[in-house]
Amino acid sequence: MSEPVAVDAMGGDHGPGETVAGAVVARRELGIPVVLVGHSGAVRAELTRHGAVGEIGVVHAEDVVPMTERGAGAVFSTTTSLTVGCDLVRRKEASAFVSAGSTGAVVSCAIHGIGRAPGVLRPALAIALPSVTGGATVLIDVGATSDPIPEMIAQFALLGASYAQLVLEVADPSVGLLSIGSEPGKGNRLTRRAGELLAGLPLRFCGNVEGHDVLAGTVDVIVTDGFTGNVVLKNVEGSVRAALTLVAHSGAAGAEELRAVARRYAPEAHGGAALLGLIGTVVVAHGSSRAATIARACAVAHDLAEGGVVTRFADRLTPEAAR
C-alpha cells in the first residue's frame, strides 16, 4: 500500500469545511489513502461531521498561512499546514501534497521543504486543458514562477513534455512557445531568448504559437512564463464562460448543454495544477475549491506519485538544459 496523499486542511477560500469533505470523498469514493494536515481541533470537528474520525489520519499544524501571503514569508514558520505538509513528503511519509492555499506560498514552501529536482532552477505549474480537437494541451507555467529567466522557460518545456508523456500518453510531445507572432524572433526579450534555447534542446520544438492556439490542439505542450500562463488560464475560463452566457442569452441552446461545455473549462475541471520540478509531488488546487475539486486534486496527486513523474523529469534534464 502506497503512502497517503497529504491534504492541506487549512488552505483555500472555504477552509476545513470543504477540504475535509474533499478528503473524505477521495478516501471513500475514489479509494485514495489520504491524511489531513491542519489544526487538529478544527479538522477533527469536521471529520466528526462526516463520521470519519479514525478513518482518516490527522497531522497537527498549529498555524495557517493566509491566502494573501505571496510566498517568501511563508517559509519561515515550521508550524503551518504548508510547511508540515511539505515535510511529510520530504520524509516520504506522504506520497504527495495537495493544497488550495495561496499559490505563491505553496510554491515557496514546496521549494524549501521538499526541494528541487537535480538541475531544476525553478518549478513550474502544469495544467492539461482540453482542446476542441478532443485531445488536450499542457500549459506550463500557470503561475509558479512569475519572473523566470529564459533558461527556466527552456526547462519548463522539458518538464511539460514529461508531463504530457504521462498524462496525455503522447510518446514524443510537440512543444510550442507562447508568443505574439508565429515567426521566430517575434515576442518580448524573454520569449525571443527562450526560443533560441528551445531550438537547441532534445525536444520536438515547433516554434512560436499564439493565444488562439491554447485550445486549438495545435501542439501537445505550450510553454510560457508563470505570469502570462496564469493570465491565459484564467482568461480561457472567463472567455468560455462569456461565450456561453451570450449563447444562453440568445436562447439558442439549452442550459444543460451549455453547462456541460462550461464545466470543461471551469477552474474545478482539472482538480489542480501539478507543481513540477521538485523531488516530491505537489498539486496546487484553485483557492475557490469545493470538496469535489479537492477530491479530484487528491486523485491527480495520487496518479502523479504512482506514475513516477518526478523521476521522469530527472532523466530529461540534460546538462545543457540544467545549466
Q: Choose between 66 and 202: whose C-beta lies nearer to a copy of itself.
A: 66
Cβ at position 246, least distance to a copy of itself in Å: 5
3-state secondary structure of 35: strand
**Closest approach of Cβ 286 to a copy of itself, in Å?**
11
The site for a copy of itself (CB under 8 A) is made up of 68, 70, 103-104, 131-132, 143, 146-147, 178-181, 183, 185-189, 191, 210-216, 224-228, 230-247, 250, 252-254, 257-258, 260-261, 264-265
Q: Which of 305, 314, 309, 277 is nearest to 156 (CA)?
A: 277
C-alpha dihedral (288, 294, 296, 300), degrees to nearest 10: 100
- CB nearer to a copy of itself: pick between 155 and 191: 191
Dist. CA 231–CA 155, nearest whole Å = 20
**DSSP-derived 3-state class of residue 214:** coil
Question: Closest distance between a copy of itself and the C-beta of residue 261, in Å?
Answer: 5
* Residue among 30 and 260 whose Cβ is closer to a copy of itself: 260
Sheet of 96-99, strands arranged across: 57-60, 34-38, 5-8, 96-99, 281-284, 273-276, 124-130, 136-140, 221-223, 174-178, 204-209
Closer CB to a copy of itself, 30 or 246, in the complex = 246
Residue closer to a copy of itself by CB (options 83, 230) is: 230
Q: Which is nearer to a copy of itself, 247 or 279 (CB)?
A: 247
Q: How far is the CB of 289 from a copy of itself (least distance, A)?
A: 16
DSSP 98-154: EE-S-HHHHHHHHHHHT-BPTT-SS-EEEEEEEPTTSSEEEEE-SSS-SS--HHHHH
Burial (0-12, 13-18, 19+ Cβ within 10 Å), 3? middle
Rounded CA separation 154/321 (Å)? 7
53 versus 149: smaller Cβ distance to a copy of itself: 149
Phi, psi torsion values for 46, nearest 5 degrees? -70, -40
- Least distance between a copy of itself and beta carbon 252 (Å): 3
Identity of the residue, 13 or 172, whose beta carbon is nearer to a copy of itself in the bound complex = 13
Q: How far is the CB of 269 from a copy of itself (least distance, A)?
A: 13
R_g over Cα of the chain: 19
Is residue 100 within 8 A of residue 137, CB to CB? The reply is no
Q: Which residues pair with residue 136 across a beta bridge?
A: 130
Distance CA 296, CA 281 (A): 15
Residue placing its CB nearer to a copy of itself in the complex, 92 or 212: 212
**CA 161/CA 128 separation, integer angstroms:** 11
CB of 274 to a copy of itself, least distance (A): 18
Least distance in angstroms from the C-beta of 296 to a copy of itself: 20
Least CB distance from residue 277 to a copy of itself, whole Å?
A: 19
Determine the Cα angle at 296 with ends 103 and 30, to 5°: 145
